[in-house]
Amino acid sequence: MPARDRDPSRTGGPDRRASAARRSGGPRSGATSPATQDDLVVGSVPVLARVCGVLLLLAGLAGAAAAFPTYLAVGGVAVSPVQGPVDAVLSLVAPVASVAVGAGLALGRVPRLGLAYAAVTGALAVGRLLIELHRGQGSTTRPAVEVLAGDLVLTSSVEIGVGWVFGVVALGLAVLAGLAAFAAWGRTVMEDGGALDPLRPVLAGAAVLLGVGAVLSLALPAADVPDQVVTDPLTGLEVVVDQEGPQALLERPGLALLGGLLLAGALLLAAAVAPSLRPRLAAVGGLLAVAVFLLDSALTGLRDAWSSPDLEWTVPGAALLVLALGALGLTLLAWRGRRAPARG
C-alpha cells in the first residue's frame, strides 16, 4: 500500500509547535513587555475617577494661569511670581504635572496612578490653601516680613490680585480632586502580579526618612536675609547683626499656623503610605506627587534667592532640592522595579 502523507497538525510538527509557542508566549517567543511581566489588570473606570481627573486637570490649568498676573499688592507694590522666562519654566513644573496626570485619568488610562497622585496632591493642598487664605486676608492683622516672588515685603497692607485668586481656585480644585480620588479608589479595579512587592520595604523606609527630612527643611525659609557684619567705629571690632527675615512655616499665626501643621502631617503621611499602594503604578503616582511638591517648593526658594539681591539661598533650601531629587529617584525605582520572571 502506498504510504500516506503525514499531516503535520496531527503529528505535532514543527509548524504546529512554533504556532503553539507563539500563542502561549513561551521562552522561545522573545522577551515579554513590562505590562505582561506585571500581569496588569484594569477594569472599567468609574465615572467618579474620570471626574477626579477633570478636576485635577482644571487645577493644573488654574495653577498655570496663576503664575502670570499680579499675585498680591503689598504696600502698594505689585508682586508677580513670573518676571522672566526662567521664572515661567520653574512656576509651571507642578501645574504641567497636574495637567498631564489629570488628562490621563480623565481618559481612563492607568486610573489608580492618577487617583494616587490626586489623593496626595489634594491632601497637601489643604494646608497650602489655609496658608494662602491667611496670606491674602489675615496677614495684615499681625504684619510681618515675608518673601513673595523674591521680594522682601512687610505685610502692613495687602490687596488681592488676579494671580492670588487663580492660585486659591487651583488649590480648591486640587482638594476636591483629592476627595474624589478617595471616594473612587475602592470602586476602581486595577491590580498586578506583585512585581514591586520585594522592594516595598526598602521604598517605605527611604520614603519615611525623606519625608522627615523634608518637613525639617520646610520648617525653615528656603531663602533668607543674610546676617549683616557691622564694624564698631570705637573699637574696630566686627559685630554680626541679625536682620529680620521671612517667617518660617510654623511661625505664622492663625490659619497659616494650622495650614503649616496640616501640610507637615500630610507630607509625612503621604511619604509613609505611598510605597504601600497597590498596584505598582499606584505607588508610582503617590511618590510622584510627593516629588513634584518638593521640587516645586525647592525651585520656588531657589528662584526667590536668585532674583533678589536681598536674599540668599539657605541650607534648608538646598537640602529640600536634594530631597526632591531623592523623591524623584524613588519614583523612578518604583516605576522600573520589577521582579525578574521565573525561569522554566
DSSP conformation letters of 26-58? -GGG-PPPHHHHHT-EE-PPPHHHHHHHHHHHH
Which residue spans within 243-305 are E strands per DSSP? none
Average of per-residue pLDDT across 150-174:
86
Model confidence band, residue 156 (pLDDT cutoffs 50, 70, 90):
confident
The rounded distance, in Å, linking the Cα atoms of 337 and 200 is 10
Residue 114: which of 45, 36, 11 has the closest Cα? 45
Residues 6+ apart with CB under 8 A from 19: none
Q: What is the pLDDT of residue 232?
A: 61
The whole model's pTM is what? 0.82
Q: Which residue has the cell 505590562?
A: 35
DSSP letter (8 states) at residue 222:
S
Nearest CA-CA partner of 53 in 135, 110, 1: 110
pLDDT band at 334 (very low <50, low <70, confident <90, very high): very high
SS (H, E, C) 192-212: CCCCCHHHHHHHHHHHHHHHH
For the chain, the helix, strand and coil percentages under 3-state DSSP, each to the nearest 5: 60, 10, 30
- Model confidence at 105, pLDDT cuts 50, 70, 90, reads very high
